Structure 1
Amino acid sequence: MQLIRGLINLKHQKQACVATIGNFDGVHSGHRAIVDRVLAKAKLLGLPSCVLLFEPHPKEFFMKEQCPPRLACFKEKYQRLKKLGIDKLVVLQFNQPLREMEAEKFVHQVLIDKLQVKHLVVGDDFHFGHRRKGNFQLLEQLSTNQYTLEPTPSVLVDGQRVSSTLIREALANQALDLAESYLGHRFSMTGRVGYGEQLGRQIKFPTANVAIKRRKLPVSGVYLVKCHWQQGGKKYSAWGAANCGKRPTVNGLDYRLEVHLLGVSPELYGIELAVDFYAPIRAEKKFESLDALKAQINKDIEQAELLIEKIES
């Protein structure tokens, strides 16, 4: 999949495309319905398929620290869209000039002149441009002899319209199976393992400190997880217990994802770890001492092992 960053690099596009626009947070089942239509039309027309998205997420630009947590960092979006078979991913920096760009200008300068869109697929609730004045009706008005336009209806699961907001609510309520039904895949976070404060090793429970590339986490507490990684050309998987949050016992200030692998202790520093969330174990809480925390971790591991036995039976 070709990755194109910034408007300046769109100047060199020599071939028209079939495209869609959005944030694709989580690349959930609603997003994949849109991608499926893009891929089908691109194949029919013999053109490359394209997804155009924005970084940072516009809500992060407007709301700063009050923004909702991401379901997926950029790399996770990239990997999922690549796996779906998209040919071209265009990433525009969401900044003040882009924020102030009128919807009509965006259509003419970005979609028509630079991206050379011949067919555009958008969700039925799509809005864009300054003050979100751009919508499906405007795209239809501006499409004359330039591109064809196709809406995609909302995807419903049990009567609920699938959205990133709905998935965040399910995750906040620790309803992982419900979130999976909306996502179309198990909720997961991926990041490179780095060095922490080595507290886990001090209390005999070493953890992998996973870089999350998010301002906030969409989940909080202790979870049964399954981790996947590649090392030395081989693929590995292992169950684990993950703590997601700010680690109140040690007065943590930032959000962390820390995983204690069960039954194995590989050297993972610098390795990219994919963490799939299977079941909640408990809420995050503050303990009076490290000994109390250690005792609770023992209980967490016991609970994780019971859950694994149930899943694998």
Structure 2
Amino acid sequence: MQIVRDYQFVTESDRGAVAAIGNFDGVHLGHQAVLDIARAEAKRIGAPLGVITFEPHPRQVFAPDGPDFRLSGSAARANRLEKLGVEKLYELAFNPSLSGLSPRDFAEKVLVQGLGIRHVVVGSDFHFGKGRAGDIETLRAFGAELGFGVTAAELVHKGDRKADIEISSTAIRGALREGKPREAAAMLGHWHRIEGKVISGFQRGRELGFPTANMSLDGLLKPKFGVYAVLVDILTGPSKGRYHGAASLGMRPMFDGEEPNLETFIFDFRADIYGCILSIGLVDYLRPELKFDGLPALIEQMDKDCAEARRILDAL
């Protein structure tokens, strides 16, 4: 997959895609439905499949002091989109220059003059341009005038008529905050994953007989703190592959942690993976964080957690 980060400096080979537009946070089933429409149109006219998205997420720019909310970082989003067959990812810098463009300027300068987009696919609630002034009808009018096609995808729902839930990043965040990773997965179409580099910790897990891979949660949504059964994908390094494990997500109350992080114990695994990129899929929430009366009680509970996680993951 080719990644383009500036619409003003592109080669001719960067241009001419059919592109889905959106933030694609989490790349959930609603996003995938938009991609399916774009994929079909790209195949019909013989164009590459593209995605136009923004980095940082506009919400981070307009509400920089708000709580962390992102389901996936830039690299994780790119990984997921590549797996879905996206050939060109236009990850545009969301800065004052871009955010200040009028709807017409966005259509003309970014979509047409910059990227040469042949057709765009967006959600039916799509807005664009300064102050979100542009909508679907505005986009269709510009498309007719400037020479690109426009398709609006209907919002995707899950459940029956009695319990219809609109699939959205907001609904997924709510499920994760409540410790319901399977409910989130049903809307995502995949396990919610936390991706990042293994960083140095205090090596307390090793001393307890449970060496863990430590990862930062900086900038990402914090799911409900506690212990999870997890799928572990090691994406880089000589130990690349999929493993099972149990992970503690939160503040480490036994050791007075100051910043939340993710500590993953990989079952039946012994290798140095410091600096490697991991993708941790949350499968089931096992229990909340607890403070125990000493390390023996903690170790006993960790043994129980791992046994329960093994049982769950072996049944997948």
With structure 2 as the length reference, what TM-score do the two structures score? 0.89
Please show how residues 135-150 of structure 1 align to structure 2 within 5 Å.
135-145=135-145, 146-150=147-151
In structure 1, the residue matched to 2:128 is 128
Pick which of 14-23 and 75-84 moved more: 14-23
In structure 1, the residue matched to 2:82 is 82
Contact 1:17 1:118 in 2 (8 A): yes
Instruction: Give a deviation string over 1:255-293, Cα, whole Å, max 9, x none.
Output: 311101223222222222221222111112445655554
Aligned residues: 311
Amino acid at match of 2:210: F
Pick which of 95-104 and 285-294 moved more: 285-294
Pick which of 13-22 and 177-186 moved more: 13-22
- CA distance in 2: counterparts of 1:169 and 1:260, whole angstroms: 26
Gaps of 5+ in 1: none
Task: Determine helix, strand or coil for the equivalent of 1:258.
Answer: strand
Gaps of 5+ in 2: none
Identity fraction in percent:
36
Compute the displacement of 1:245 (Å): 1.7
Contact 2:15 2:117 in 1 (8 A): no
Structure 1 residues 95 and 237 mapped into 2: Cα distance closer, same or farther (>3 Å)? same
Compute the displacement of 1:219 (Å): 4.2
Structure 1 residues 294 and 191 mapped into 2: Cα distance closer, same or farther (>3 Å)? same
Computed over aligned residues only, the root mean square deviation of the Cα atoms, in angstroms, reads: 2.3
Q: Which of 233, 236, 256 is the equivalent residue of 1:228?
A: 233
Structure 1 residues 307 and 49 mapped into 2: Cα distance closer, same or farther (>3 Å)? closer
Compute the displacement of 1:29 (Å): 0.7
In structure 2, the residue matched to 1:263 is 268
Pick which of 119-128 and 55-64 moved more: 55-64
In structure 1, the residue matched to 2:69 is 69
Task: Determine helix, strand or coil for the equivalent of 1:80.
Answer: helix
Please show how residues 28-67 of structure 1 align to structure 2 within 5 Å.
28-67=28-67
Amino acid at match of 2:198: V
In structure 2, the residue matched to 1:151 is 152
The answer to whether 1:185 aligns with 2:186 is no
The answer to whether 1:218 aligns with 2:210 is no
Runs of 4+ in 1 over 6 A off after TM superposition: none
Please show how residues 216-295 of structure 1 align to structure 2 within 5 Å.
216-229=221-234, 235-287=240-292, 290=295, 292-295=297-300
Pick which of 228-237 and 42-51 moved more: 228-237
Instruction: Give a deviation string over 1:14-63, Cα, whole Å, max 9, x none.
Output: 64221121100111111011111111111111112211101111112222
Structure 1 residues 31 and 232 mapped into 2: Cα distance closer, same or farther (>3 Å)? closer
- CA distance in 2: counterparts of 1:253 and 1:98, whole angstroms: 37
